Structure 1
Amino acid sequence: MCTGKCSKCIGITLLPLAACAIVSNILLYFPNGQVLQLSEITDLVWFFHGILGAGILVILPAFMMMGAGGAGCCANRCGMLLSVVLSLLGFAGGAYCAVISSLGLIGGPLCNTGDGEYLYPFRNDTLE
């Protein structure tokens, strides 16, 4: 049995997950459906972790995996090498998204203090 059939199934599964990551990152720019000023949007959103990391860099291997399979799929060494390289690229994109998201969870939310000033009340900015 060729592994191309399994990779085709994985590629089909990765496409909606990458689309959800892109949509989720875009929604971070419009919280509650409102258009905010640039200073009111959290700083880690500008790293485009959902659009670039978990979106585009995961869609590339997903399309490669969907194209896998068929007659003589295991004998195509160049295609297998490209699949491995694109899978590593997708892994790197997912890891980038996980790191930036973790940093966002550690830093906490950007909050309105009530006087129109936005700051991170839970962030520990001390050197000690």
Structure 2
Amino acid sequence: MALETCGSCLSCLLIPLALWSIVVNVLLYFPNGRAGYQLPSYVWHFEGICFSGVMILLLAVILIALECSVFYRCCESESCNKTYRSFLSIVLALLGVAFSGYSCIIFTWGLIQGPFCNSSGGWDYIFKDTAGGYLTDYSAWSRCTEPANVVAWNISLVSVLMALSGLQLIICFLKVAAELKRTLCGTYSVFVQARIL
């Protein structure tokens, strides 16, 4: 019962997470708060803006509309209608898992690869061969001379984006579980009532 009650509020939680993903991803385009620098390749995948942002936002709005019985008359019987809405919610939540999962993978790859910055050897991903070891090697951060403080900027924002997409992934999984429980338990109760009659 708790999972079903929780399932009705999970969609609302996706909206602020999606909006924050868009905002934080936009900040990645302005290293150290400035424009005009060359940017890492993973920024152009638009995963924070498109996938864990706009797409998750659209899914959340549709899921909320389904929960508010906007499509109440799509079937003749109420039980058929509830099953249909639960099925749609499961499909949409699985899409949310795919979108947020993709974003989480890209952000993880971006964090391991490190920022695109200028060093003594020119513009390059100078930490790409460290397998993420640069994250704790603070002395190596000074190798990136331009943009200023780009390593700390990149790590902070990409970590936030990873956390946001990870939370979206968990919420979408919980949404799938809640809708599956609602559908299966509802179907079982219908069968039990029919057998008693």
The whole-number CA distance in structure 2 between the counterparts of 1:64 and 1:74 is: 19
Match of 1:122 among 127, 135, 147: 127
The whole-number CA distance in structure 1 between the counterparts of 2:64 and 2:29 is: 31
- Give me the identity figure in percent: 38
Computing the radius of gyration over CA atoms, which structure comes out larger, 1 or 2? 2
CA RMSD of aligned residues (A): 2.7
> Given the two structures, how large is their TM-score scaled by the length of structure 1?
0.79
> Which whole-Å deviations, capped at 9, do the CAs of 1:50-86 have from their partners, x for residues lacking one?
0122112211331133220569688522211111111
> Given the two structures, how large is their TM-score scaled by the length of structure 2?
0.54
CA contact (8 A) 2:63 2:92 kept: no
The whole-number CA distance in structure 2 between the counterparts of 1:33 and 1:74 is: 53
Structure 1 residues 1-128: aligned runs within 5 Å: 3=4, 5-37=5-37, 40-67=38-65, 68-69=67-68, 75-113=81-119, 117-124=122-129
- Any stretches of 5+ residues in structure 1 without a counterpart? none
User: Could you say which structure has the higher helix fraction?
Assistant: 2
Name the CA shift for 1:66/1:84 in 2 (closer, same or farther; >3 Å).
same
The whole-number CA distance in structure 2 between the counterparts of 1:82 and 1:36 is: 44
Length, aligned pairs only = 121
Q: Which portions of structure 1, spanning 4 or more consecutive aligned residues, are displaced by more than 6 angstroms? A: none
- Any stretches of 5+ residues in structure 2 without a counterpart? 73-77, 131-197
